[in-house]
Chain A
Amino acid sequence: MPVYQRFSIWFFVGVLTLAYGLVLLAIGIWEFSHPPVGIVLSQYHGTFWWGLLMTTFGAFYTIRFRPQKA
Chain B
Amino acid sequence: MTPALLALAMPRLAQMSPADLLILALYFAMVVFIGFYNKEAADTSEEFFLAGREMSAWIAGLSFVSANLGSLELMGWAGAAYQYGILATHWYWIGAIPAMLFLGIVMMPFYYISRTHSVPGYLQLRFGEGARGVSAVSFAFMTVLMSGVNMYSMAKVMQIVLGWDFNFSIWVGAITVGLYVCLGGLRSAIINEVLQFVLIWAGAALIPILGLAEAGGWHNLKAQIIHNVGAGYIHMWSTTGNVANNPMGVHWFGLVFGLGFIISFGYWTTDFLVVQRVLSADSLRSAKMAPIIGSAFKMFVPLIVILPGILGLAVLRNADGSLMHLVGENAAVAGQHTYNEVLPLMMARYLGPGLLGLGITALVAGFMSGMAGNVSAFSTVWTYDIYGAYINKKADDKHYVAMGRWCTVVGMVISIGTAYLVASAASIMDYVQALFSFFIAPLFGTVILGMLWKRATRQGGFWGLLCGTVSSISLWAFVRANPNNIRFMILQPHASQLIIDKVQAMSENIYRAMWSWLICVLVTVVVSLLTKARPIAELNGLVYGATEIPSEGDLPLHKRPIFWAIIVALVLIALNVIFW
* Interface membership of chain A positions 1-23, coded 1 if the CB is closer than 8 angstroms to chain B and 0 otherwise: 00000110100110111011001
Q: Tell me the smallest distance from the CB of A52 to a CB of chain B, in Å.
A: 13
Instruction: Write the chain B residue with the least CB distance to A10.
Output: B194
Is the beta-carbon distance between A46 and B350 smaller than 8 angstroms?
A: yes
Contacts of B6 in A (CB 8 A): none
Once A12-B195, A16-B30, A23-B22 are accepted as A-B contacts, the answer to whether A54 and B350 lie under 8 Å apart by CB is no
Check: A56 CB closer than 8 A to any chain B CB.
no
* Interface membership of chain B positions 326-352, coded 1 if the CB is closer than 8 angstroms to chain A and 0 otherwise: 000000000000000000000001111
Contacts of B190 in A (CB 8 A): 9
**Further 20 A-B residue pairs, CB within 8 A, beyond A15-B30, A24-B354:** A6-B41, A7-B37, A9-B190, A9-B191, A12-B34, A16-B195, A20-B202, A23-B19, A23-B23, A31-B352, A40-B315, A40-B349, A40-B350, A41-B213, A41-B350, A42-B352, A46-B210, A47-B352, A47-B353, A54-B202
Contacts of A50 in B (CB 8 A): 202, 206, 355, 358
Q: Of residues 26 to 70 in A, which have CB atoms within 8 Å of B's CB atoms? A: 27-28, 31, 36, 39-42, 44, 46-47, 50-51, 54
Is the beta-carbon distance between B350 and A39 smaller than 8 angstroms?
A: yes
Instruction: Write the chain A residue with the least CB distance to B62.
Output: A9
A53–B202 Cα distance when bound, in Å, is 10
* Interface membership of chain B positions 300-312, coded 1 if the CB is closer than 8 angstroms to chain A and 0 otherwise: 0000000000000
Contacts of A42 in B (CB 8 A): 352
Check: B567 CB closer than 8 A to any chain A CB.
no
A40–B349 Cα distance when bound, in Å, is 6
* Interface membership of chain B positions 28-40, coded 1 if the CB is closer than 8 angstroms to chain A and 0 otherwise: 0010001001000
8 tightest CB-CB pairs across the interface, nearest first?
Answer: A36-B352, A27-B354, A39-B352, A24-B354, A41-B210, A9-B191, A40-B349, A47-B354
Q: Of residues 457 to 516 in B, which have CB atoms within 8 Å of A's CB atoms? A: none
Contacts of B4 in A (CB 8 A): none
A28–B59 Cα distance when bound, in Å, is 32
Is the beta-carbon distance between A17 and B210 smaller than 8 angstroms?
A: no
Once A12-B30, A17-B198, A27-B19 are accepted as A-B contacts, the answer to whether A47 and B355 lie under 8 Å apart by CB is yes
Check: B110 CB closer than 8 A to any chain A CB.
no
Q: Tell me the smallest distance from the CB of B561 to a CB of chain A, in Å.
A: 22
Once A9-B59, A28-B354 are accepted as A-B contacts, the answer to whether A40 and B210 lie under 8 Å apart by CB is yes
Residues of A at under 8 Å CB distance from B? Answer: 6-7, 9, 12-13, 15-17, 19-20, 23-24, 27-28, 31, 36, 39-42, 44, 46-47, 50-51, 54
The 17 sampled A-B contact pairs (Cβ below 8 Å) are A7-B37, A12-B30, A12-B191, A13-B194, A19-B26, A20-B358, A23-B23, A24-B358, A27-B352, A27-B353, A27-B354, A36-B353, A40-B349, A41-B214, A42-B352, A46-B206, A46-B210
Q: Tell me the smallest distance from the CB of B221 to a CB of chain A, in Å.
A: 15
Majority SS at the chain A contact face:
helix
A7–B59 Cα distance when bound, in Å, is 14
A47–B206 Cα distance when bound, in Å, is 10
Q: Tell me the smallest distance from the CB of B491 to a CB of chain A, in Å.
A: 48
Instruction: Write the chain A residue with the least CB distance to B187.
Output: A9
Check: B77 CB closer than 8 A to any chain A CB.
no
Contacts of B139 in A (CB 8 A): none
A39–B352 Cα distance when bound, in Å, is 6
A46–B205 Cα distance when bound, in Å, is 11
Instruction: Write the chain B residue with the least CB distance to A61.
Output: B198
Instruction: Write the chain A residue with the least CB distance to B356.
Output: A39
A53–B98 Cα distance when bound, in Å, is 33
Is the beta-carbon distance between A20 and B26 smaller than 8 angstroms?
A: yes
Contacts of A24 in B (CB 8 A): 354-355, 358
Check: B27 CB closer than 8 A to any chain A CB.
yes
Contacts of A36 in B (CB 8 A): 352-353
A13–B354 Cα distance when bound, in Å, is 18
A19–B354 Cα distance when bound, in Å, is 12
A41–B213 Cα distance when bound, in Å, is 8
